[in-house]
Amino acid sequence: MPSRGERRLLERGSRAVALAALGGLLWLAWRPPPPANARVTVDGTAALPAFLSQATRAPVGALALVIDSIPGRRERDWLRALAGAGTAVTWRRAGATALRGDLTGIAITAEPVVDPSGRSRIVAVGPPGAPLTISDEAGGMDSASIASSGARVLDATVDGIVTGGGARSVATTAPRDSVVLRPVLVLANAGWEGKFIAAALEEAGWRVDVRFAVAPRVAVVQGTGGRDQAATIAGIDTGRYAAVVAVDESAAPHAAALVRFVRQGGGLVVGRDASSVVALAPILPARPGAPITPVLGAIASDQPLRALGGIALSAPRRDAVVLDRLGGAARGVAARVGVGRVLMLGYDETWRWRMEGGEGAPAEHRSWWSAMVASVAYAPLAPLRPATAAQLVDEAPYAALVDALGEPLPDQPSAGAPISAIAWQRLRFVLLFVLLIGGLLAEWTSRRLRGAR
């Protein structure tokens, strides 16, 4: 049995422990910031929001973040703020190497399509094979796996904010601009090709001015040319036209104006018969090449353009892009000329596609010509929404994460189970509480055993 003195010593010790524990608890509750060299590891993106509020109250010296999905914009900004306040933040991706691919995240943008449809082109990029769902505020738009190209492109009418992503990464975007589309001028001799090009563009929603040459100094005109029957058209400039379609050699009297128009930034589509206009040669992206023999009977097939004769386009300029290739021959070549664009086509009688093609041929012909014009059209942007909308979107969360925190650390095996900052915090509370209760119990028991109150 311990002596009375020993008991008193024990009781004082127990009380001291309890008081120390109480003090520790009080310290934990109202403690000053942690020491600058404290290092905390957060494992899992889901734990991040809770940690961030904790770490704001009790700053840590270093944070090692292991993510299994891309943190949202709010968390990223918070982490960036922590890093700015002095916390050394590092991060790496969790999981097996094979699974880390889709943690490079989804990025998505929406920009206006240059045609009168009012649609937007949504481009989502991400790791090949990753599942991707695209939706806007009116519901789901597309669901697919990202192809080997790493991209998914959607032309659609967009309602509100567009969301794209899979299980581990979600990106959002919204169109910010619209395009200013001015009319298209069609220059042609009176004939089926000019008629049906103008018809296709008008039906697709383009505003079209035309000048169909019928006889010397006689033309059928429409648009700002008005009743002007003169051989030249004044005012072919980007203030008036988005693009000009030069169907045939009737464009020759306007060649100088067309060259000037392109150098200003305008778009020019040069039809097969217009490619012989000498004055246009300096701005053509390629040269007229060998004649192409049309494939009989192909007009109603799924490759109706094979049925059209014309020429192959040869010797493309170094900066030219082949937009349309058929059977090994370039049939549509585009290039920038100054700040403008020129598209050269090598097809004869595309109107036959509309008249003789299979089911849906008129719509295909319409879309094709609309796309040809759109590919060169001068279309300045105009802001669509207030800037606040842009603040709501998160177009490239992975890139934003790298921007906020730097590159991820190289993959490395974990040096043991990381202790969560929250868990360690709780453990300290529990230990101090146990010490407090234990100390008080020990003192109380000792005093009861010696008969004291």
Partner 1 sequence: MWRMPAALDRAGDGSRAVPGAGGARAAGATALGAVTLTLRPPRYAGRAVERLVDPALVRAYPGSRVMLEGAGPADGTRARVDDASVAVREAGIGWRSEFVTGAARALVRVERDGGGARLLALEPLVDSAPMVTLRSPARDTVLRQPNGTIALAADVRDDLGLASAVFEYIVSSGAGERFTFTSGTLGALRPGSGREAALRASLSLDGLTLAPGDVVHLRAVARDQNDVSGPGVGSSESRTIRIARADEYDSVAVDQAPPPEVDKSLLSQRMLINLTEALVKRSRAVARTEVTAESRRIGRDQGRLRKQVSDIIFSRLGDGGEGGEHFHGDGHAHAESDELAAGPLTPEALLRAAEKATVISGSPTDFEHDETPVVAINRPMLEAYNAMWDAGRALDGGEPARALPPMYIALAAIQRARAAERLYLRGAPPRVVVDLARVRLQGKEPGSPGARSPRQPIDLARAGVLARFGAALDELTRDPAAGVDSLIVLRLAVAERLPAAAAALEGAIAAVRASRNATDALRRARRALDDGLVATDTLPAWGGAR
Partner 2 sequence: MSTFTFATVQYESGDWDSAPLVPANLIDSIARYTEIDVAPSGVVVPLGSEAALRYPLLYLTGHLPVRFTAQEKQVLTRFLDRGGLLFVDDHNHDVDGMFHKTVTEELEQVAGVLRKLPNTHPLYSSFFRFEDGPPNTSHELNGWGDNLLHPYLMAAMRGDRIAVLYSNKDYSSEWNFHPDNKRFYSVDNTRFGVNLVVYALTR
8: helix, strand or coil? helix
CB-nearer residue toward partner 2: 131 or 223:
223
Residue 320 burial (10 A CB sphere; 0-12, 13-18, 19+): buried
**Which member of 213, 244, 333, 377 binds partner 2 (CB under 8 A)?**
213
The torsion region of residue 368 among left (phi > 0), alpha (psi -120 to 50) and beta comes to alpha
Q: Rounded to whole angstroms, how far apart are CA atoms 381 and 110?
A: 13
Dmax (CA) of the chain: 132
CB-nearer residue toward partner 2: 206 or 212:
212
Do residues 90 and 82 lie in contact, with contact meaning Cβ atoms separated by under 8 Å?
Answer: no
**Which member of 366, 400, 405, 420 binds partner 1 (CB under 8 A)?**
366
Binding pattern to partner 2, positions 270-309, x when CB under 8 A? Answer: ---x--------------------------x---------
Residue 156 beta carbon to partner 1: minimum distance, rounded to whole angstroms = 4
Q: What are the tokens at 364?
A: 């295909």
CB-nearer residue toward partner 1: 265 or 310:
265
Instruction: Rule CB under 8 A: say whether 347 interacts with partner 2.
Output: no
Q: What are the tokens at 170?
A: 């979600």
Instruction: Rule CB under 8 A: say whether 150 interacts with partner 2.
Output: no
- Within 10 angstroms of residue 266's Cβ, the number of other Cβ atoms is 29
CB-nearer residue toward partner 1: 136 or 273:
136
Residue 285 beta carbon to partner 2: minimum distance, rounded to whole angstroms = 22
Using H for helix, E for strand and C for coil, what is the string for 303-324?
Answer: CHHHHCCEEEEECCCCCCEEEE
Q: Work out whether the CA dihedral 8, 14, 20, 26 comes out positive or negative.
A: negative
Residue 95 beta carbon to partner 1: minimum distance, rounded to whole angstroms = 26
Tell which positions 152-171 bind partner 1, by CB under 8 A: 152-157, 159-160
Pick one of partner 2, partner 1, none as the site partner of residue 76 (Cβ within 5 to 8 A by kind).
none
The owner of tokens 């990025």 is: 107
The owner of tokens 């146990």 is: 434
Instruction: Rule CB under 8 A: say whether 386 interacts with partner 1.
Output: no
Instruction: Rule CB under 8 A: say whether 210 interacts with partner 1.
Output: yes
Instruction: Return all residues near 353 (Cβ < 8 A) that are at least 6 apart.
Output: 299, 304, 305, 307, 308, 361, 364, 365, 368
CB-nearer residue toward partner 2: 359 or 417:
359
Instruction: Rule CB under 8 A: say whether 362 interacts with partner 2.
Output: yes
List of residues contacting partner 2 (CB under 8 A): 189-196, 199, 210, 212-216, 218, 220, 248, 273, 300, 348-349, 351-352, 354-356, 361-362
